[in-house]
Amino acid sequence: MDDAAQSADRRDRLASIVAPRLDAIPQARRHSLRVSRLRRWLVWGAGGILAFILGGLALEAFRFLPADLRFAHIGMQGTRITIESPKLVGYRKDGRPYELRAHLGVQDMAKPDVFELEQLDVRIEGDNDAVVMLSAAKGVYDARNDHADLSDGVRIHDGKHYDMRLESASMDFRANVMRSDRPVALTLDGGEIAASSVEFAQSERRATFTGSVHSVFHGETDEKAGAEASGE
């Protein structure tokens, strides 16, 4: 074979390598289309799985909420549910209702009966259509036991005859009894009482003060009638 023939043969082989095959272009397009579809399926599939998981968590969260709970808005972060303006209705032993409202409530699904509350107000119905109001800056409410631990300033009053202020207290709504081992001040129609601790039973209309009790009653013979001992 002469040099010209060898050179032409090399050019033909090089051209066959460099020149694109006509049948490869449609195949590449079909491959790109399959890859694009697969990507869309993966995105939609991942989104569907995420929506399913979030929906399941939301249903699980609502399952833990009491049936008598009302609220303005609810959000969830992890296992904690944040409830705006929660309102709960409970009942005491005598069947009378009490209504609990708060600015904000937080519930952990690991402890579904416990609510962490901020700026709570409780309305308790008493005898002869009397109403007692209880308020606190913070509180932890146990819905199963109808019990609350209150802190950061507690007030209980009927708007007419008495007004009691405490640093912290525990409230048994079922028995309608409040207890505190922190300093307490009670203002009555005719005087004031201060003590180190108190037990207040609204259904019995009884308040028992203990520890450094000091009372002042206006209009008595002495301007101040005090006692530095336990008393009721």
For 146, list phi and psi in degrees, rounded to 5.
50, 50
pTM of the model: 0.62
Evaluate if residue 55 carries a pLDDT over 60. no
Q: What percent of the chain has pLDDT over 90?
A: 25
pLDDT digits 0-9 by tens, 140-152:
999 888 899 999 9
pLDDT at 77: 74
CA 189 to chain centroid, in Å, comes to 38
Cα–Cα dist 154/184, whole Å: 10
Q: Are 216 and 192 in contact (CB under 8 A)?
A: yes
119: number of CA atoms within 13 Å, CB side? 6
Cα–Cα dist 79/97, whole Å: 30
Fold of 65-231: lipopolysaccharide transport protein A fold (2.60.450)
Lowest mean pLDDT among 23-32, 52-61, 96-105: 52-61
Pick from 165, 141, 164: nearest CA to 89? 141
Lowest mean pLDDT among 33-37, 73-77, 94-98: 33-37
Pick from 181, 105, 169: nearest CA to 143? 105
Any idea where the domains of the chain sit in the sequence? 3-59, 65-231
pLDDT at 223: 44
Q: Which residue has the higher pLDDT, 137 or 231?
A: 137
